[in-house]
Amino acid sequence: MTKYVIFSFFLVLIYPLGVDLYLTGLTAIAKRFKCF
């Protein structure tokens, strides 16, 4: 049970970070394609 709680807490912390990285990556790729 404690492992599940720690895992869910970790997921809540990591998820917004992952979304931010994904969005910044998408914008960077879009800018790169617009440049070419």
Both structure tokens of 3:
């492992």
User: Does 23 map to a domain?
Assistant: yes
User: Does 1 map to a domain?
Assistant: no
Q: Is the dihedral of CA 26, 29, 31, 33 positive or negative?
A: negative
User: Does 3 map to a domain?
Assistant: no
User: Does 5 map to a domain?
Assistant: no
- Domain carrying residue 36: 12-36
Give the pLDDT confidence score for residue 31 in this predicted structure.
85
User: Does 24 map to a domain?
Assistant: yes
Domain count, the chain: 1
User: Does 18 map to a domain?
Assistant: yes
Give the pLDDT confidence score for residue 5 in this predicted structure.
93
Question: pLDDT, tens digit, for every residue of 13-31?
Answer: 899 888 998 899 888 888 8
Exposure string over 6-36, b if 16+ CB within 10 A, otherwise e:
eeeeeeeeeeeeeeeeeeeeeeeeeeeeeee
